[in-house]
A and B are shown apart, each in its own frame.
Chain A
Amino acid sequence: MMKKILLVIFSLVIATPVGAQIAPSSERLKDVREGYKQDVRDLREGVKVETQGLKDTLKTQVREANMGVLEDREAMKVKREEAKAMMETKREEYKKMLDEKREAAKKEFEIKRTELKTRLQAVKDERKKQLVEKISNQLKELNERMMNHFSSVLEKLEKILAKVGSRADKAAANGVDVAAVRTAITAAEQAIAASQEAVKAQLAKVYVPTVSTEDNLRVDVGKARQALHADLVKVRDTVFAAREAVRGAHTVLAQIPKVDELEESAQNVESSDNTSSNTQ
């Protein structure tokens, strides 16, 4: 029994300080572990905050860049709309001028037709008389129709050239040097304007034959026919020149690598903004 009591006392004397020493050490370990855990938490939080800050900055920068692109695109659109409106106004004015020329030519034709009728009174062959008048009318109608046709072709050329300009604007918005295209466009505009002037002048002309004698009818009427043909060739050549000038502008434009894709590249900026918004 005594032995047991001594063993308990010994255990209390020895084991209690040892136990007291072990307990604080375990607490410290726990504290250190907690400390590390907190540090990791703080670090994570810091990285999270920093990443969010970077994301926000990047997003703002992308948005600002996109705003710039959108503003440029908007300005380009406005510019194109203005150019289109101006072209429409010019076209209307041109059509009015053509109407005036057409009216003036009609009056002059009526005067010359009366003169022709008077001269034809000396011709005995009624069939020939009527034929000369018919050809005279045909020449008048042919000139007018051809001028309307050439005028229509020139209008189409203007529209095509506007498309070359619009595509060049898109290329320029993507940082492409389009100076050569602009030069070619200016040359084409001048060629179209020159051809329009030729059409306007031609529309004012009349081709009524000046008949001399009955025997000379074919020659006299032939002269009027040749005069109209020669003049129409001249006007047609100006239309050809305008067409080739527009084709030239198009050729310069088509030499720009992937020119048809340039607009889409600019539009992709918008989608990249949306993508960055979704990364939150």
Chain B
Amino acid sequence: MLWQSKTVEEVSDVDTAEAINQDLNSLNTADLDMEFKDVDAGLNSL
């Protein structure tokens, strides 16, 4: 459920180079290892 708190920011309507750069920097592609934390915890207790 970790990634759900990391929502993808909405893209603004402004099309200046600066705004586009901000949009790109605000993209979150998620940390896979963190996403597997719960699965790994269960796996370790098997």
Contacts and interface: CB of A to CB of B under 8 A. Distances in A.
A and B are partners in one complex rather than unrelated chains: yes
Contact of A153 (B8, B10, B14, B40): B8
Interface residues of B, number: 30
Contacts, number: 94
B24 A247 contact: yes
Nearest to A132: B46
Interface in B1-46: 3-4, 8-11, 14-21, 23-24, 27-30, 32, 35-36, 38-40, 42-43, 45-46
A243 B43 contact: no
A177 interface: no
Contact of A156 (B11, B19, B39, B42): B11
Given A247-B24, A259-B17, A131 B39 contact: no
A220 B13 CA distance: 49
Contact of A236 (B8, B29, B38): B29
A239 B29 CA distance: 8
A222 B17 contact: no
Interface residues of A, number: 42
A233 B32 CA distance: 8
B8 A250 contact: no
Given A135-B39, A145-B3, A232 B29 contact: no
Interface stretch (A104-112, A160-168, A196-204, A267-275): A160-168
B27 A156 contact: yes
A166 B42 contact: no
Residue among B8, B20, B42 with most chain A CB within 10 A: B20
Contacts of B21: 250, 254
Contacts of B45: 131
Interface of B: 3-4, 8-11, 14-21, 23-24, 27-30, 32, 35-36, 38-40, 42-43, 45-46
6 contacts: A149-B3, A153-B27, A153-B28, A163-B15, A253-B17, A254-B17
